[in-house]
Homo-oligomer: A and B are copies of this chain.
Amino acid sequence: MTAPLPDTPHIEMWFDFASPYSYLAIERVDALAQAAGVQVDLRPFLLGPIFQAQGWNDTPFRLFPGKGAYMMRDIARLAEKYGVVYNRPRLFPRMSVLPARIALLGQDEPWGRDFCVAVFRANFQHDLDIQDEDVVHTLLTDLSLDAESLIARGKSEAAKEALRRQVDRARDLGIFGAPTLFVDGEMFWGNDRLEDALDWTRRAEAASPWPAARHA
């Protein structure tokens, strides 16, 4: 047996299409990952069941109004800083079950990535109802995909079960918000930890990004 060649480092990025901080991260991640030589695996899931499991029956934006108002301001301010187009959706948070089921079908394929970006932009740039079948149909068609077939598959029992399992995995991983990134089992929560997560991929190599040794 020969030793395997060092692989391109991977990070997993877990997100919900309703999450504005996930949107900011998606818009930024490709350029940053390319510069870092890292592959990003997109992992769509649903925050709703995760929030419910910690006793929240609504989005934290509404449960904690002062914090929610601040976060809306923070998101607009960050979008401006990053140069990312952002229009606050009239409806927030939007239902994201159907696009999540379809995105999960293609999460490791190029079309899946393109679809994820399209769904996020539909929500946070074009203020469209991403749960609406016609909207999803248009997004898929615009990507030259077979919209009828993918929507039918997304509505299948298999796709529903797959998303339930994805949410279970998120819960098992200890995810409590989005976006959440994983690098070799190390968790980073939030768009504002994206750079740190990418830096972390270098910890396995000789040149550690940070001075001290990795924590146990």
Residues of A near any B CB (own CB < 8 A): 54, 64, 66-67, 69-70, 73-74, 76-77, 80-81, 83, 174, 176-177, 187-189, 192-193, 196, 210-212, 215
Contacts and interface: CB of A to CB of B under 8 A. Distances in A.
A184 B101 CA distance: 44
A191 to B, nearest CB: 10
Given A74-B189, A189-B74, A176 B80 contact: no
Contacts of A80: 210-212, 215
A83 B187 contact: no
Contacts of A77: 196, 215
A77 B203 CA distance: 12
Task: List the number of copies, as a whole number.
Answer: 2
Given A80-B210, A210-B80, A70 B215 contact: no
A190 to B, nearest CB: 8
Contacts of A83: 211
Contacts of A70: 174, 176, 187, 189
B67 A177 contact: yes
A211 B85 CA distance: 12
A113 to B, nearest CB: 27
A76 B216 CA distance: 11
A70 B73 CA distance: 25
A66 B81 contact: no
